């Protein structure tokens, strides 16, 4: 059993939202158990009662009847809360006082606060503008936006009138934007004049003009000044300045309450295997799921300060925004997390009093390799550190407790764009074990199955969810018969959600994610998760990053590892052997790469995830179907025609 790195005190457990929720539910149903894993099982076997209890505990603003909570049990096809009507935006804007709603900081050194009253005013102003432009229920509003308050205003204003929001970050190329927004035909585009990254400004007005010209459905482009205080908008067709768009609004917006599954968001798959899938999420399922994750699993309380390093392209941005429904203050960061230096976000955490700090596993590993010591900045108020994007390896768990803070819940979380949330995540009332995610989300029937569809324990298999849950997508865009939706999640195991993660349930009941199923290696017919290899390679001091794929070779598959080394270093036979010894000593001989090749860069998606599939296609001479989905598509050229892969 993996060692315990942190255990919450009895006082911390007693003061947690988890305990308050459990006690409230038990006061109405004496059969509700106290032990956390037993409570999860109860929440699965009594899922309708659980979600009704969550609605009551979280004080959801709605109208109609919560009965029945669930109609049908088929996946897809089950319907949650068919008699409820609500507004996602109304639930996030429940406060309208002078308390701080948003703290927006960026790499240029700017900082501004937005009060709850000020946020309401901005939403009301943009709402009035959207109505003047004829935007109504079901219309789409798109945001090509950095992580700034105006992006949140766009989402809330759109939903407040029943429109559907979709966003991506301004560093996307023209075709990448059109591959996404072109599918959904937005009526209004919200954007900026430019953005800054790594200390460099990027003017995007010409790109916005090209995008606007290519989307006939657009009636207007609302431009927020970001690089300049008064940018020239003449290059952008049908442009409206932000001040003009939002002036003259009421103190509070009005809210249209619509059905539970009314579309709220369109998110997109990574798109590395073709045009991105446009995934439609409903407002009720998103709200309920995020309230559960924030309040119960993340222990987010009134007045807490929630931070997540994210862009508007990543589902975690939407997850962050929902923290407003818990009356928390959101801290936003726009720009590079390493500018002007690798410690910038940790200094910000202390200066702004983060109570919850969210980031990616790769960021944590980069800080470790850069020698950052976050504990030096204090972090007195920090209670929880969230990590997602890729598996958090055991050594990174250990580094956090040694270099960040000892009295800290490390909540490794995993889910995805497909559910705009998590399947597995933290438990504030349980110990944190090295290398493990603490458990499945309440109300979600998460399991791990083998290829025969049988549950397995302490054995790797496919992550599944066997019963309906509220945050399943409403639909895919332009999929009228639902065939693409069913093929994406229910083809492998009919009637059961197959998520595509290669996972394991541990002896303690925790969960380990071993990587994506479609990236699993198969040398000699033995399935190997890439995360198992990355864990070992990342311990080699000379290696900054790595990407591992399977290469078809002499009727089998061999493991090929590409490494990015520290500046100035060259991969030689001695370093190759050290890497192989590290892998062999801590895994099995089948994990040992047959070839190790040095590369100058690792290709990534726009959300920062390494893309094994694209590299695998390149080394086999297959076309990569959508390089626009990559943040650095030029990196793929480094993997073509490598001599090391011909022998």
For residue 265, give both structure tokens.
């968001």
Confidence of residue 248 (pLDDT cuts 50, 70, 90): confident
**Domain range for 122:** 116-259
Residue 276 inside a domain? The answer is no
Is it the case that residue 626 has pLDDT exceeding 80?
no
CATH number at residue 531: 3.30.300.30
Instruction: Provide the pLDDT for residue 606.
Output: 78
Report pLDDT digits (tens) over 160-185: 999 999 999 999 889 989 999 999 99
Q: What is the pLDDT of residues 503-549, one digit of tens each?
A: 999 999 999 999 888 888 888 777 788 888 998 998 999 999 999 99
* 318 found inside a domain: no
Mean pLDDT over 351-376 rounds to: 95
The tens digit of pLDDT for each residue in 189-237 reads: 999 999 999 999 999 999 999 999 999 999 999 999 999 999 999 999 9
Residue 372 falls inside a structural domain: no
pLDDT higher than threshold 70 for residue 274: no
Decide if 282 contacts 474 (C-beta within 8 A). Answer: yes
Tell me what pLDDT residue 275 has: 80
* CA 174/CA 191 separation, integer angstroms: 13
The pLDDT assigned to 529 comes to 86
* Under 8 Å between Cβ of 184 and 142: yes
Q: Which of 243, 259, 275 is the last residue of a domain?
A: 259
What is the spatial distance between Cα 32 and Cα 44, in angstroms, rounded to a whole number? 12
pLDDT of residue 555: 83
Contact 440, 427 (CB under 8 A): no
Mean pLDDT of the chain, nearest integer: 95
**Number of structural domains, the chain?**
2
Q: 540 lies in a domain?
A: yes
Please tell me the distance from the alpha carbon of residue 93 to that of residue 159, in angstroms, as a whole number: 12
| pLDDT, tens digit, 9 for 90 and up, residues 310-331 | 999 999 999 999 999 999 999 9
Q: Which residues contact 27 (CB under 8 A, 6 or more apart)?
A: none
The residues, ordered by sequence, that sit 6+ positions from 347 with a Cβ below 8 Å of its Cβ are 377
Distances (CA, A) of 30 to 47, 198, 296, 313: 16, 56, 20, 44
Average pLDDT, stretch 418-430?
Answer: 98
Chain centroid to CA 8: 26
pLDDT of residue 625: 76
As a whole number, mean pLDDT of residues 30-58 equals: 98
Helix (H) / strand (E) element for 283: namely helix 283-291
Q: How many CA atoms lie within 13 A of 19 on its CB side?
A: 12
Distances 93 to 136, 141, 322, 391 between C-alpha atoms, Å: 20, 19, 10, 34
- In the sheet that holds 595-598, the strands lie side by side as 543-553, 556-565, 595-598
Residues in contact with 67: Cβ distance below 8 Å, sequence separation at least 6, in sequence order: 83
> Using CA atoms, how far apart are residues 494 and 503, in angstroms rounded to an integer?
19
**The domain boundary residue, chosen from 198, 226, 259:** 259
pLDDT grade for 273, boundaries at 50, 70 and 90: low
Say how far apart CA 637 and CA 647 lie, in whole Å: 20
Is residue 45 pLDDT above 80, yes or no? Answer: yes
Residue 272 pLDDT exceeds 70: no
Final residue of a domain: which of 197, 225, 259? 259
Do the domain assignments include residue 448? no
CATH number at residue 177: 3.40.50.980
Name which of 11-15, 164-168, 273-277, 365-369 the model is least confident about: 273-277
User: Could you tell me the pLDDT band of residue 609, with boundaries at 50, 70 and 90?
Assistant: confident
The whole model's pTM is what?
0.91
- Joined tokens for residue 513: 């994610």
Any domain includes 176:
yes
Range 36-42 average pLDDT = 98
User: Coil, helix or strand for 191?
Assistant: strand
Mean pLDDT across the stretch 288-299?
Answer: 98
591 domain residue, yes or no: yes
Q: Which range among 453-467, 484-498, 588-602 shows the weakest confidence by mean pLDDT?
A: 588-602
pLDDT for residue 631: 85
42-56, 336-350, 602-616: segment of lowest average pLDDT: 602-616
Give per-residue pLDDT as tens, 92-139: 999 999 999 999 999 999 999 999 999 999 999 999 999 999 999 999
Whether residue 249 has pLDDT greater than 80:
no
- Calculate mean pLDDT across residues 427-443: 98
- Burial grade of 209 (CB within 10 A; 0-12, 13-18, 19 or more): middle
Q: How confident is the model at residue 269 (pLDDT cuts 50, 70, 90)?
A: confident
Q: Is residue 566 part of a domain?
A: yes
Helix orientation angle between 47-58 and 36-45, rounded to the nearest 10 degrees: 110
The predicted model gives 261-273 an average pLDDT of: 87
């Amino acid at each position: 059993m993996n060692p315990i790195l942190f255990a919450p005190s009895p006082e911390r457990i007693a003061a947690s939202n988890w305990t308050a929720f459990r006690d409230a539910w038990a006061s109405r149903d004496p059969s509700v158990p106290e032990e956390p894993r037993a409570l999860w099982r109860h929440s699965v076997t009594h899922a309708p009662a659980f979600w009704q209890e969550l609605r009551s505990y979280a004080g959801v603003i709605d109208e109609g009847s919560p009965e029945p909570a669930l109609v049908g049990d088929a996946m897809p096809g089950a319907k949650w809360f068919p008699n409820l009507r609500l507004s996602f935006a109304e639930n996030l804007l429940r406060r309208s006082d002078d308390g701080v709603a948003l703290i927006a900081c960026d790499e240029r050194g700017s900082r501004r606060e937005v009060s709850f009253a000020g946020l309401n005013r901005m939403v009301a102003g943009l709402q009035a503008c959207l109505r003047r432009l004829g935007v109504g229920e079901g219309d789409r509003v798109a945001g090509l936006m950095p992580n700034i308050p105006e992006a949140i205003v766009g989402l809330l204003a759109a939903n407040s009138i029943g429109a559907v929001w979709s966003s991506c970050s301004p560093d996307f190329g023209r075709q990448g934007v059109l591959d996404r927004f072109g599918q959904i035909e937005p009526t209004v585009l919200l954007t900026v004049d430019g953005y800054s990254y790594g200390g460099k400004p990027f003017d995007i007005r010409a790109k916005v003009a090209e995008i606007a010209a290519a989307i006939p459905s657009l009636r207007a482009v609302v431009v927020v000044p970001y690089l300049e205080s008064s940018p020239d908008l003449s290059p952008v067709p049908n442009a409206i300045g932000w001040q003009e768009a939002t002036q003259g609004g009421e103190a509070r917006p009005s809210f249209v309450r619509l059905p539970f599954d009314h579309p709220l968001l369109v998110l997109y798959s990574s798109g590395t295997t073709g045009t991105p899938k446009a995934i439609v999420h409903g407002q009720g399922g998103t709200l309920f799921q995020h309230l559960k994750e924030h309040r119960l699993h993340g222990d987010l309380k009134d007045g807490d300060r929630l931070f997540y390093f994210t862009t508007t392209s990543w589902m975690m941005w939407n997850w962050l925004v929902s923290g407003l429904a818990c009356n928390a203050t959101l801290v936003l960061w726009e720009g590079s997390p390493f500018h002007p230096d690798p410690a910038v976000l940790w200094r910000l955490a202390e200066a702004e009093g983060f109570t919850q700090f969210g980031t990616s596993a790769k960021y944590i590993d980069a800080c470790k390799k850069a020698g950052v010591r976050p504990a030096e900045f204090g972090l007195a108020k920090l209670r929880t550190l969230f990590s997602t994007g890729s598996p958090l390896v055991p050594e990174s768990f250990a580094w956090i407790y040694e270099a960040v803070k000892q009295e800290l819940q490390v909540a490794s979380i995993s889910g995805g764009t497909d559910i705009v949330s998590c399947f597995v995540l933290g438990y504030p009332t349980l110990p944190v074990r090295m290398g493990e995610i603490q458990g499945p989300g309440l109300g979600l029937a998460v399991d791990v199955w083998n290829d025969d569809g049988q549950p397995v324990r302490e054995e790797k298999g496919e992550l599944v969810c066997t019963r309906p849950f509220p945050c399943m997508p409403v639909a895919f865009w332009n999929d009228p018969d639902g065939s693409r939706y069913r093929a994406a999640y229910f083809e492998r195991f009919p009637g059961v959600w197959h998520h595509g993660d290669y996972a394991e349930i541990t002896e303690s009941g925790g969960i380990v994610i071993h990587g994506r199923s479609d990236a699993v290696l198969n040398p000699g017919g033995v399935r190997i998760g890439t995360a198992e290899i990355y864990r070992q390679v990342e311990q080699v001091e000379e290696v900054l990053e790595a990407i591992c794929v399977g290469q078809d070779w002499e009727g089998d598959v061999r493991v090929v590892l590409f490494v990015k080394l520290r500046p100035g270093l060259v991969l030689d036979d001695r370093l190759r052997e050290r890497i192989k010894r590290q892998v062999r000593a801590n895994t099995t001989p089948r994990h040992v790469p047959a070839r190790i090749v040095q590369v100058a860069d690792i290709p990534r998606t726009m959300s920062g995830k390494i893309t094994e599939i694209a590299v695998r296609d390149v080394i086999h001479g297959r076309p990569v179907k959508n390089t626009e989905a990559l943040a650095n598509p030029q990196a793929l050229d480094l993997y073509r025609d490598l001599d090391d892969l011909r022998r």
